[in-house]
Structure formats: structure tokens, C-alpha cells
């Protein structure tokens, strides 16, 4: 069991969403493929391909990266990509609402511990606010805004992770300097985003991120259940 390296000056935990709160990447992948089929495209993202595509953060950006590197042919218009991505997001929300998702081990307990310790809770994610709301409702059966004091989502910032923008936005909304917060992430892009915002970060990789370089992390743990907040 690892004690989280927190000091009495720690005031908030900032969680990534996809891959950190829950292993959502397979559901995202299935939703992308369903949207492609519905649009009459013969694109199909296998889990092996998706592992590579995940290095591009943001859904629309990921579709563009796929077109550039794999699909070939004329590039669809920005409007078509936006519609395609909106359809994927709707399908993802429907899949989520059917409830086939659980929080990762240790996450519910960390939230409880943090609350008991008087810490504030925030989310800093490259996913959209609607995806966040769907996930929190499906897992914690509560509105995201009731569980988290601050939510900074990918559709609110110009540059997605690994840029620090979304963490800076979370800090601004928390009204805290970076050294009063601790980030929890599952990927190198997320870790770099937190690190560039000056926030210490604990990483627990998942199936799509295992083996990445986590060198700037404060600590790397197999599971968030290995983490205990203590004074
Ligand atoms: Mg993640």
C-alpha cells in the first residue's frame, strides 16, 4: 500500500476521466466504429490501431489523424467530421446509459477519502462535458457537478493534453496554485499535461497505456486501490 505523497498543504485532487476514473476506451472505440458504419464509411478501428490513435487526444483530432495516416482519399470537410463526431458522442452516451461501465478499482474509495479529508475534487479531461456527465451518472448515480467541485473539459480549452491548458483551467476554477493539488492520470499525455501545469501526478496505467514513458510522474501504481491519502 502506497501513501499518496500529500502534505498538509494539499487542497484538491484533480482526476483525469477516460482511463483513470473508468476504463472507457473500449466503449469509445465501439462508438466510433458504430458512427463510421452509420455514415456509410468502411473505417474500422481495431484495438491495436486504437492504441496508436489514442496518442492523439480529442475525438475530432483523432478522426483527422486516422484519415491522414490510414484512410487515404480526399479529406472530409470539417463540418462532416464535426457531425461524425457528434454522432459518435451520442452513441457513446447511449452505451454509457445502458450501464456497461464501472469505476476503476480504488476510485470510489479515493473520492470518499478525499471528501473525508476535506479535499476538493476536480476533473481535468480532454473528453467533452456531455461524456463526463454520462460517465458519472452511469457509475456514481449522481450528477457530475454534485460529486466534483470543478470540471474542466476538453471542449473548453484551445489545446488538448499534453498541453497544460485543461489543468490550468481546473486550477483557475479551484483558485489554487499547482502545489496545493495532486493529479491522477493513466497516460503519458495526461501526465505531461499535469506536469506542464506544475502539478505533481500519480499514474496508474491501463491496458491502452501500459508501457508508456511515465518518467515525470511522482509515482506509478498498478491500481488506484494501492493509494491511501494520509496526513
Ligand atoms: Mg486518460
Q: How far is the CA of 73 from the centre of ligand 1 (A)?
A: 31
Neighbours of 121 (CB within 10 A): 18
Centroid of ligand 1 to alpha carbon of 118 (angstroms): 25
pLDDT in the model for residue 100: 78
Q: What is the CATH number of domain 25-97?
A: 1.10.150.240
Q: How far is the CA of 74 from the centre of ligand 1 (A)?
A: 31
Q: What are the backbone angles phi and psi of residue 137, rounded to the nearest 5°?
A: -65, -40
Query: Is 127 within 8 Å of 121 (Cβ atoms)?
Result: no
Give the Å distance between the CA of 224 and the centre of ligand 1.
13
> Which one is catalytic: 16, 94, 109, 186?
16
Residues with CB under 5 A from ligand 1 (ion): 16, 18-19, 186-187, 190
Measured CA to CA, the distance from residue 116 to residue 41 in angstroms comes to 50
Q: Is 16 assigned a catalytic role?
A: yes
Question: Who contacts 154 (Cβ-Cβ below 8 Å, separation ≥6)?
Answer: 57, 58, 125, 126, 127, 128, 160, 166
What is the 8-class DSSP label of residue 22?
B
Domain 2-24+102-228 falls under CATH 3.40.50.1000? yes
Distance 56 CA to ligand 1 centre (A): 12
Per-position b or e across 86-116, b if 16+ CB within 10 A of its CB = ebbbebbbebbeeeebebbebbbebbebbee
What distance in angstroms lies between residue 189's CA and the mean position of ligand 1's atoms? 8
pLDDT of residue 230: 73
Please tell me which residue in 18, 109, 155, 165 is annotated as part of the active site: 18
Q: Find out whether 167 and 199 touch, Cβ atoms under 8 Å.
A: yes
84 CA distance to ligand 1 centroid (A)? 22
Q: How far is CA 205 from CA 84, 161, 218, in A?
A: 29, 16, 14
* Residue 32 pLDDT: 97
Q: Where are the domains of the chain?
A: 2-24+102-228, 25-97
3-class DSSP assignment, residue 218: coil
Give Cα 6 distance to the centre of its chain: 22
Task: State the pLDDT at residue 76.
Answer: 83
| Residue spans of the chain under pLDDT 50 | none
Amino acid at each position: 500500500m502506497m501513501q499518496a505523497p500529500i502534505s498538509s498543504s494539499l487542497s484538491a485532487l484533480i482526476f483525469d476521466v477516460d482511463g483513470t476514473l473508468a476504463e472507457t476506451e473500449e466503449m469509445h472505440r465501439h462508438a466510433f466504429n458504430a458512427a463510421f458504419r452509420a455514415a456509410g464509411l468502411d473505417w474500422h478501428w481495431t484495438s491495436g490501431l486504437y492504441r496508436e490513435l489514442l496518442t492523439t487526444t480529442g475525438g475530432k483530432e483523432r478522426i483527422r489523424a486516422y484519415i491522414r495516416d490510414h484512410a487515404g482519399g480526399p479529406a472530409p470537410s470539417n463540418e462532416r467530421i464535426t457531425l461524425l463526431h457528434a454522432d459518435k458522442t451520442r452513441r457513446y452516451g447511449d452505451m454509457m446509459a445502458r450501464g456497461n461501465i464501472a469505476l476503476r478499482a480504488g476510485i470510489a474509495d479515493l473520492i470518499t477519502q478525499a471528501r473525508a479529508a476535506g479535499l476538493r475534487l476536480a476533473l481535468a479531461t480532454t473528453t467533452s462535458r456531455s461524456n463526463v456527465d454520462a460517465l458519472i451518472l452511469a457509475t456514481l448515480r449522481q450528477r457530475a457537478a454534485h460529486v466534483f467541485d470543478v470540471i474542466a473539459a476538453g471542449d473548453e480549452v484551445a489545446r488538448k493534453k499534453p498541453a497544460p491548458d485543461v489543468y490550468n483551467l481546473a486550477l483557475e476554477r479551484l483558485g489554487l496554485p499547482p502545489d496545493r493539488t495532486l493529479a491522477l492520470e493513466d497516460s503519458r499525455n495526461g501526465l505531461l499535461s499535469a506536469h506542464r501545469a506544475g502539478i505533481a501526478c500519480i499514474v496508474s496505467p491501463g491496458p491502452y497505456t501500459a508501457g508508456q514513458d511515465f518518467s515525470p510522474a511522482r509515482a506509478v501504481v498498478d491500481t488506484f486501490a494501492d493509494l491511501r491519502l494520509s496526513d
